[in-house]
Amino acid sequence: MSIGRPQGRGASGARRAATAALLLLAAALALALLAGCGSGSSTVIFKDKTEVQTGSGEAQTGSGEAQTGSAAESGSSGEAGESTEELPEVAVEASSPGFNAARIYEEAVPGVVTIRSIFGSAGGAEGSGFVLDSNGEIVTNAHVVTDESSGTRKPASEVFVEFENRNVLEAQIVGFDPFADVALLKVEPEGFPLHPLPLGDDKALVVGQPVAAIGSPFGEQRSLSVGVVSATDRSVKSLTQFQIEGAIQTDASINPGNSGGPLLEEDAKVVGINQQIETNSGANDGVGFAVPISLIEHSVEQLRENGHAEYAYIGVSTQPLYPQLAQKLGLDTEFGALIANVVPGGPAAKAGLRGGNGTIRFQAAEYETGGDVIVEVDGQEVTQPDSLIKVIDEKVPGEKVKVTILRDGKRQDIEVTLGKRPDQIEPE
């Protein structure tokens, strides 16, 4: 006997019984729904989205808020059939289209290039870059087009730039800046149009803001990765003994070959160029850094004009002061920069600034003590670890600045004539 499906009259009777049961169940559900009318439920219609919420009737998306009111305001007494008002429909539109990785890629990728450098017997390198203007200027990292294997940093003997349309042009190195790890290249478009990328504002970035990186990781051209701004105002390694200040930290995937490629915000504007990763494994561990576009613009302006970039230099190494440390040292200030060392013969030494002459260990760190404490430069307070270098970076070599220090419990002003930042500092 088959047990797969019923046959004959018995099956027909079973179907009638099942149908009757379903009708009874539907009727019960209808009564339950009718009884629930006016219980405080509301429907809020958003652009591309409808949400149903219960209870207080409040719904929120982004920065917009829509509220339908309480159950009493909607005419509900909690009993079936007593609601006489229709629930309102509230349409809320987003204030901006938001972050759209596909749109950003479509807009930006024609302006992203792959760069190949040849260093003769030293081999070659591959990285990324972006088109700065329609005259053929290309921006990338200095380490993509220079080599230091001989002990002195030298430019590549040949550089080639490949565009999205597969055209490959030879590029000239206009100049490179090892302090910012920036290089400016120039190609002759030869009749085909270029796609310059617009520049954004790295100062307006906030932690958590989404960003996109485009480049050629491991030679995989025009690859997209997305992430967020993990932090701003980071200090990272340059190609010299000095740090790059104001770097952007991101968890967007950055790997070898991404160097020099653009980091983009939601309007497909360049806010930095991807420069390095922090890793213990050799692979991307979610800690990448980009040179901020404000520093790139400052560098490119000098490279275009002079072929090299110069930065002001004060000649001190400092440690940040904070309230608990200041109290420990008995200083009449909560913030500032403790001068640990003064470079012999440097601008600060010539002006008479003093470095530390003792050492203490406090809160798991070691500090140089006994030196001057810089509290202001040209009236700008030194309140953050990078405050001093930021002020100096805004100056030019040869400019005079007023440095306010705390020495022996008293404040005094000292005039310092800034020098030109050296490629390297000779050890004492």
Catalytic site positions: 143, 181, 259
Cβ 343 vs Cβ 316: under 8 Å: yes
d(CA 421, CA 400): 15
SS3 content of the chain, % helix, strand, coil (to 5): 20, 35, 45
Phi, psi of 34 (to 5 degrees): -65, -40
Q: Where are the alpha helices (DSSP H) in 220-376?
A: 293-306, 323-329, 347-351
Residue linked to tokens 């159950």: 71
Phi, psi of 312, rounded to the nearest 5 degrees: -70, 160
81, with CB counted inside 10 A (0-12, 13-18, 19+), is exposed
Closest CA to 302 of 388, 397, 424, 390: 397
Return d(Cα 128, Cα 221) in angstroms, integer.
9
9 burial (CB, 10 Å; 0-12 / 13-18 / 19+) is exposed
How many whole angstroms separate alpha carbon 312 and alpha carbon 326?
Answer: 29
Residue whose token pair is 């309140």: 383
Cβ neighbours of 347 (radius 10 Å):
25
